Amino acid sequence: MKALQTAFDLVLMLALLWLAWRALAAPDLFKGVVLFIAFGLLMALAWVRLHAPDIALAEAAVGSGITGALLLSALARSRRLERDNPPPRRRDP
């Protein structure tokens, strides 16, 4: 049982590191953001393993959910800006 848990921990840690690396290095930003959200969910799993259910809840809701939504909406805004390709504006307070 102990060995199984240790193995699970090791796999989880490696998956976390791998996901972080892939999320940052993914050539496609959308894919990067999706991988980052997955990374957040895996983080929540790690919090559960470390007996931190409060943090797991917060991570799933804030770290992964809301941050993911923020990232996706910023990405969509960025794509819209790119598509519309407006002339650089000097001032829009």
Site residues, other proteins (CB under 8 A): 5-6, 9-10, 13, 16-17, 20-21, 23-25, 27-33, 36, 39-40, 43, 46-47, 49-59, 61-63, 65-67, 69-71, 73-75, 77-82, 85-86, 88-93
Longest dimension (CA), the chain: 63
Q: How far is the CB of 61 from other proteins (least distance, A)?
A: 3
Angle among Cα 11, 15, 17 to the nearest 5 degrees reads 120
Phi, psi of 73, rounded to the nearest 5 degrees? -70, -35
Q: How far is the CB of 1 from other proteins (least distance, A)?
A: 13
Q: How far is the CB of 19 from other proteins (least distance, A)?
A: 9
Report whether 61 contacts 74 (CB < 8 A). Answer: no
